[in-house]
Amino acid sequence: MSTTTEELQREQRRRGVPTTRRTAVYVYQAPLRVWHWVNALSITILAITGWFIANPPPSMPGEASDHFLMGYIRFFHFAAAYIFAVGFLFRLYWAFAGNSYSHQLFTLPFWRRSFWRELWHEVRWYAFLEPEPRKYYGHNPLAHLFMVVIITVGGLVMLVTGFALYSEQTGLGSWQDQLFGWVIPFVGQSQDVRIWHHWGMWVIVVFVMLHVYTAIREDVMSRQSLISTMISGWRMFKDDRP
Amino acid sequence: MTVTATPNGFDLDNGGRRVVVDPVTRIEGHMRCEVNLDENNVIRNAVSTGTMWRGLEVILKGRDPRDAWAFTERICGVCTGTHALTSVRAVEDALGIDIPENANSIRNIMQLTLQAHDHLVHFYHLHALDWVDVISALSADPKATSELAQSISDWPLSSPGYFRDIQTRLKRFVESGQLGPFMNGYWGNPAYKLPPEANLMAVTHYLEALDFQKEIVKIHTVYGGKNPHPNWLVGGMPCAINIDGVGAVGAVNMERLNLVSSIIDRTIEFIDRVYIPDLLAIASFYKDWNYGGGLSSTSVLSYGDIPDHANDNSAANLMLPRGAIINGDLSKIHEVDLRDPEQIQEFVDHAWFRYDDETKGLHPWDGVTEPNYVLGPNAKGTSTRIEAVDEGAKYSWIKAPRWRGHAMEVGPLARYIIGYAQGNPEFKEPVDKLLTDLDLPLPALFSTLGRTAARGLEASWAAHKMRYFQDKLMANIKAGDTATANIDKWEPRTWPKRAKGVGTSEAPRGALGHWIVIEKGRIDNYQAVVPTTWNGSPRDPAGNIGAFEAALLNTPVAKADEPLEILRTLHSFDPCLACSTH
Amino acid sequence: MPTTETFYEVMRRQGITRRSFIKFCSLTATALGLAPSFAGRIAHAMETKPRTPVLWLHGLECTCCSESFIRSAHPLVSDVVLSMISLDYDDLIMASAGHQAEAILEEITHKYKGNYILAVEGNPPLNQEGMSCIIGGRPFLEQLQEVAADAKAIISWGSCASWGCVQAARPNPTRATPVHEVIRDKPIIKVPGCPPIAEVMTGVLTYMLTFERIPDLDRQGRPKMFYGQRIHDKCYRRPHFDAGQFVEDWDDEGARKGYCLYKVGCKGPTTYNACSTVRWNNGVSFPIQSGHGCIGCSEDGFWDKGSFYQHTTDTHVFGVEANADKVGLGAVGVVGAAIGAHAAYSAIHRAKLKQNGDETTPAATNEGDKQ
Ligand code: HEM
Ligand code: HEM
Ligand code: NFV
Ligand code: SF4
Ligand code: SF4
Ligand code: F3S
Ligand SMILES: [Mg+2]
């Protein structure tokens, strides 16, 4: 099946691939940027505290009443979890309230062939098989896919399993139980939920490593700004070619 | 009608009337028994079928050997803990792990607690109704009952008023028309021989024992956290000891030791002042009923157990005897080597399993467990509606273990016979005393009643040995040793790539062995050969019959449609079917 | 007319006064949401009603649920069996056997149609034509279905009946199946545990007899009153958990001080049971109190959740076994290294391109592509 140039261009326009000369576009509005950094912080705290929940530090000396180490670790986990959860809800709201780039996190042009083609291009770029990447106002397709799968779907899994675990301590009948208690028998039993929640951490940790790496690398090597975009909101392009 | 002589000396005649008992009740698990009665209602052929199988040996494959105790413990909740003990021993044997002295003492106390408890519950709640007619107790004279009770024991609960209260309660229970567990019993069967007063006394103690047994097991609760199914640990015991340090209340401390100690005292008292006198009293009315000897007079086996000191499995260190007697030659006690591929083998040609070559037996290290449910050509009914099994083919979920080709009886009687034959006074003296008290000759021991009596003697022995080990534990703690676990080889990385081990114990019902093969930190093969596997064994390729079947032969049955005598003899083994098939 | 010892009489015999009996009845009325006038009726019913027949069937099991049951201290099991229920069938303790035993089921299920309780210990296997558990020459499944047909309610004793338990552990060679998966049209009360605590068993049973209703159940069909919270929620070692004080190795300092067993695999945080409150054997102890972690014995499929001695247990999916932390740390290592290598190569690649002055060519290629 062949695609005409016109079709391609139309599609590219739709996808937000710049075809004309622009040096800067306002992409990430302030609330989204704030969300990004708050979210990043909360996930970092969640992963660190989560690790220590599963693998507590060496035993504390002295009396139990003198310490509350696990209590604090868990407290920070739950505090961060609430921030993460509220952030998630806010981000969902912002997908409607924000500009056109703000829905990307919740939509995936799964059936669009060009998406996969460009995604493949991006993969080849990382594999040093393409001389340069394309330009995007929003996320490049590869990043987009990962964001949706890991942050949206993965985040939802972490939320649902996390609150299901949380419902175990808030007790039968609590809102956590009413909203998320079903998850436990759905997944199997409590230990299963815990372990899937635990696996989720590793998935997210690996994503974050790649995300941060690619953000820095692309900031240096791609044709557009990345990190500063997440700070100022403006996407700057380094060349005038489409 | 054909008469066959088995290689182990029994004549089988499967003509006459075939009587089926299924379910056999008051046992652990599920069992079926078929017998052929001749015209005089004498049993001439006996077929015992294990009617359940769960596949624990299959399930254990690929698991962490340190977890195995918990799985195998669930083989049985009646002899709870004994499989767990045997399992940790097998793993420790394979990996060369030594356990601390305290762990040995605690394990022994737990094993002995089980012996005492299990025997007591068996006697009163699983076996007594074979000898005791509950309904007859209603016509007893409470005053005469009291006199009887006081003449045999100084147990304080023995006033006429006490027996009258129980009798009244029983009466109202019976009159309610809702007989509960006593419904459809064989009350009034001529095989019951006790006078009403003895029946009332026994029923009273049935209830007392029911209330008391729950106290004994609290020892498991202290050291193992619960009963049934207390916790164990490869390398020792999970209960740490702390006598004077900060946090002592979080471990085995003085209060816990005192609790165990007091329970031991009460257990000794109950067994010696209620169980043993009842046993003697009941036996004295059944002296003439000397059936059910089976294999006991020819082939008995024991692996030995209750190591005095830790990590020494030599016969001299084991307080329960080890050895095998065959051909009825009590003068020769054979060495038993559980690692020798020629000695212990399991056959499946009559069991619902598959081997490549079913004419041969397999040593448990090479054991195979693969189900194969098929009935023989002479079975009656259909595969899901069995009217009669075909004992010429596969007919049981129990494998047939053999020691050097011999079918063996195991259990308290086997242990007492071997101990007696060794001249060990701990076993010989009580047996001689029992026989003198009942005015019976030694051969009377080889019978249903002998089996039941040996169990009682052993319950008492076990209770006293609990005291010995509790004292030993205290002395060791006093000497400054509070270790309960050895963790040197806890981590799988410290293990060899491949290792084989065998763990044994003397479970309440007899010799128990677990064989394990560990490969790369996981269980490669796990085989259990269990007391009731021995006793309830089906036939083997040579035609030897097992202990249950042998014991039933030649017993007259008073009423062909009331299997009282069959139950009596089967119960004397305390069959555990969940154990036997696992 | 024969006299039955009624519930009231049992209570009286156990030292409960008439006054507290009446009070108990009015409390019952309130609990049931009935007008106070109903208290009299309840009292009357209690004083007169015959004992409820209980048919206790055994499938594939280890009998330790029965063993646990007879350990009940309050009420004493002798009182339960003689005075509270009519235990008409239980092949563990019943006097009769064979045909006479089977006849009891026939009789009770007819005579008390819809009015008896079916208690199941163990479960039916479905493989081997169901004949890896044979009762009376037939598959246990048939007996179970027949007796269930006219039962008022079913109690699934223990983890076997509730979930499948050890015989249902991978690869479940007999396809042992929990009761609720073969009986779907009856109220089923699951009382899991391997075994359940004695006083929990008699507690559930006497609750049903006393209040004449099924206890409040949670999503999975367990009575909330005993299974509503985890071991961890009421564990007396919890202060050590919160403080971060753990048994690191068996028999270490922490073990002797009674620290938390989390690091040696305690499943208290993921196990719903009453052990840390009711405790075992009339309150003497419970697994954790005696130094071993909870193994999660009342949870669905606890045998297949990985080692009893690890907190982060292995996951078993699609026949592959893996440990989250091992895989996770491994993945972080590999990805970290890959990032490093990729970064390094990226730098070299870029330097090379710069050197060749090739920086503009890609655009041309790109242009070319578009034509
Ligand atoms: C836990 C850590 C982090 C998480 C979970 C995370 C998550 C995300 C998400 C979900 C987006 C998409 C925003 C949207 O469209 O709604 C995003 C974008 C972005 N993040 Fe992060 N982030 C993390 C850390 C970082 C760090 C440390 C940096 C900088 C070094 C960074 C730089 C960026 C950049 C540059 C973008 C824009 C990507 C683009 O334009 O395609 N992030 N991040
Ligand atoms: C990115 C998000 C998250 C990460 C990476 C994360 C990570 C973890 C990890 C690794 C554990 C330890 C699991 C184990 O014991 O093996 C844990 C436990 C837990 N998490 Fe999260 N979690 C996240 C989000 C959440 C959320 C949104 C909640 C909601 C309240 C939550 C609630 C919990 C709870 C209740 C526990 C169990 C704590 C305990 O009982 O001690 N988590 N988490
Ligand atoms: N047979 C048997 Fe057991 C015993 N005693 C175990 O090894 O009963 Ni359940
Ligand atoms: S639930 Fe556990 S304890 Fe109860 S019968 Fe099953 S295996 Fe035994
Ligand atoms: S011992 Fe187990 S149940 Fe108790 S606090 Fe620790 S983890 Fe929780
Ligand atoms: S192992 Fe079972 S007995 Fe209780 S403490 Fe855990 S649920
Ligand atoms: Mg075996």
* Beta carbon pairs, A and C, within 8 Å: 145
Give the confidence band of C371 by pLDDT, cuts at 50, 70, 90. Answer: very low
SS3 A197: helix
Residues in Cβ contact with B383 at an 8 Å cutoff, skipping those fewer than 6 apart: B373, B374, B375, C129, C131
B12 burial (CB, 10 Å; 0-12 / 13-18 / 19+) is buried
Interface predicted TM-score of the whole assembly (ipTM), two decimals: 0.94
Please state whether the predicted TM-score (pTM) of the whole model is above 0.90: yes
| pLDDT, mean of residues C128-137 | 98
pLDDT score of C38 more than 90: no
Q: Could you identify the residue written with the tokens 């054979």?
A: B334
Q: Could you identify the residue written with the tokens 């491949």?
A: B498
Please give the structure tokens belonging to residue B120.
Answer: 């007591």
Nearest CA to ligand 1 atom 26: A212
Q: Could you identify the residue written with the tokens 């959860």?
A: A85
Q: Does A195 touch chain C (CB under 8 A)?
A: yes
Please give the structure tokens belonging to residue A178.
Answer: 């009413």
Distance from CA of B256 to the nearest CA of C (A): 9
Question: Which chains lie within 8 Å of chain B at 3 or more CB pairs, if any?
Answer: C
* Beta carbon pairs, B and C, within 8 Å: 342
Which residues have CB less than 5 Å away from ligand 7 (the ion)? B 528
The b/e string for C210-245 (b: 16+ C-beta within 10 A; e otherwise) is beeebbebbebbbbeebbbbbbbbebebbbbbbbbb
Task: Specify the DSSP element, H or E, that contains C143.
Answer: helix C140-149
Question: Which chains lie within 8 Å of chain C at 3 or more CB pairs, if any?
Answer: A, B
In C, minimum Cα distance to B384 occurs at C138
B226·C138 Cβ contact <8 A: no
- What is the Cα–Cα distance from B207 to B128, expressed in whole angstroms? 12
Per-residue model confidence (pLDDT) at position A3: 41
DSSP conformation letters of C6-74 = PHHHHHHHTT--HHHHHHHHHHHHHHTT--TTHHHHHHHHHHHPPPEEEEEEE-BS-SHHHHHHTT-BT
Per-residue model confidence (pLDDT) at position C81: 93
**What are the tens digits of pLDDT across the range C188-245?**
999 999 999 999 999 999 999 989 999 999 999 999 999 999 999 999 999 999 999 9
In C, minimum Cα distance to B21 occurs at C98
Question: Which chains lie within 8 Å of chain A at 3 or more CB pairs, if any?
Answer: C
The b/e string for A7-27 (b: 16+ C-beta within 10 A; e otherwise) is eeeebbeebbbbeeeeeebeb
CB A45 within 8 A of CB A84: no
C219·A185 Cβ contact <8 A: yes
| Structure letter (DSSP) for residue B559 | B
In B, minimum Cα distance to C129 occurs at B384
C256·B32 Cβ contact <8 A: no
**Residue ranges of chain A whose pLDDT lies below 50:** 1-5, 8
Per-residue model confidence (pLDDT) at position A239: 84
Which ligand places an atom closest to the C-alpha of C158?
Answer: 4
Residue B505's DSSP bridge partners are B512
What residues 410-449 of chain B have any CB closer than 8 A to a CB of chain C? none
Give the confidence band of C352 by pLDDT, cuts at 50, 70, 90. Answer: confident
| Structure letter (DSSP) for residue A59 | P
The b/e string for A162-189 (b: 16+ C-beta within 10 A; e otherwise) is bbbbbbbbeebeeebbeebbebbbebbb
Give the confidence band of C319 by pLDDT, cuts at 50, 70, 90. Answer: confident
What residues 165-204 of chain C have any CB closer than 8 A to a CB of chain B? 165-167, 169-174, 176, 194-195, 198
pLDDT score of C49 more than 90: no
Give the confidence band of C370 by pLDDT, cuts at 50, 70, 90. Answer: very low
- Residues of chain C with Cβ-Cβ distance to A171 below 8 Å are 228-229
Q: Does A205 touch chain C (CB under 8 A)?
A: yes
Task: Give the nearest partner residue to A172 out of C218, C239, C370, using CB atoms.
Answer: C218
Per-residue model confidence (pLDDT) at position B505: 98
Q: Choose the residue to mutate in B59, B74, B80, B220 for probing ligand 4, maximizing ligand atoms within 8 Å of C-beta.
A: B74
What residues 138-157 of chain A have any CB closer than 8 A to a CB of chain C? none
All structural domains of chain A: 24-236 (1.20.950.20)
CB B178 within 8 A of CB C107: no
Main-chain phi, psi angles of C50, to 5 degrees: -70, 165
Rg value, chain C, Cα: 29
Q: Which residue has the higher pLDDT, B25 or C359?
A: B25
pLDDT score of C87 more than 50: yes
Q: How far is CA B144 from CA B134, B147, B196, B198, B207, in A?
A: 17, 5, 10, 9, 19
Q: Does A186 touch chain C (CB under 8 A)?
A: no
CB B120 within 8 A of CB B275: yes
Please give the structure tokens belonging to residue B461.
Answer: 């022995």
Q: Choose the residue to mutate in B115, B117, B571, B579 for probing ligand 3, maximizing ligand atoms within 8 Å of C-beta.
A: B579
Per-residue model confidence (pLDDT) at position C369: 36
| Structure letter (DSSP) for residue B292 | -
pLDDT score of C31 more than 60: no
Q: Does A181 touch chain C (CB under 8 A)?
A: yes
Give chain B's end-to-end CA distance (angstroms, integer).
35
Distance from CA of A23 to the nearest CA of C (A): 17
Give the confidence band of C360 by pLDDT, cuts at 50, 70, 90. Answer: very low
Any residues with Cβ below 6 Å from ligand 2, and which?
A: A 43, 46-47, 50-51, 53-54, 74, 77-78, 81, 84-85, 158-159, 162-163, 165-166, 194, 197-198, 201, 204; C 269, 312
Kindly give the distance from the C-alpha atom of residue B511 to the centroid of ligand 3, in angstroms, as a whole number: 9
- What is the Cα–Cα distance from A170 to B394, expressed in whole angstroms? 56
pLDDT score of C45 more than 70: no
The b/e string for B312-351 (b: 16+ C-beta within 10 A; e otherwise) is ebeeeebbbbbbbbbeeeeeebeebebeeeebbbbbbbbb
The total number of residues written for chain B in this structure: 582
Per-residue model confidence (pLDDT) at position B247: 87
Q: Which residue has the higher pLDDT, B575 or C12?
A: B575
**What are the tens digits of pLDDT across the range C252-300?**
999 999 999 999 999 999 999 999 999 999 999 999 999 999 999 999 9
**Residue ranges of chain B whose pLDDT lies below 50:** none
Q: Could you identify the residue written with the tokens 């025997």?
A: B119
Per-residue model confidence (pLDDT) at position B460: 98
- What is the Cα–Cα distance from C290 to C247, expressed in whole angstroms? 13
Q: Which of B419, B408, B455, B582 is nearest to B115 (CA)?
A: B455
Locate the ligand 1 atom nearest the alpha carbon of residue A151 and give its number: 10
C309·B125 Cβ contact <8 A: no
Which ligand places an atom closest to the C-alpha of A47?
Answer: 2
Interface test with A, best of C270, C295, C315 (most A CBs within 10 A): C270
Residue C57's DSSP bridge partners are C120
B508 lines ligand 3 (CB under 6 A): yes
Which ligand places an atom closest to the C-alpha of C268?
Answer: 5
**What are the tens digits of pLDDT across the range A163-173?**
999 999 999 99
- What is the Cα–Cα distance from B25 to A157, expressed in whole angstroms? 51
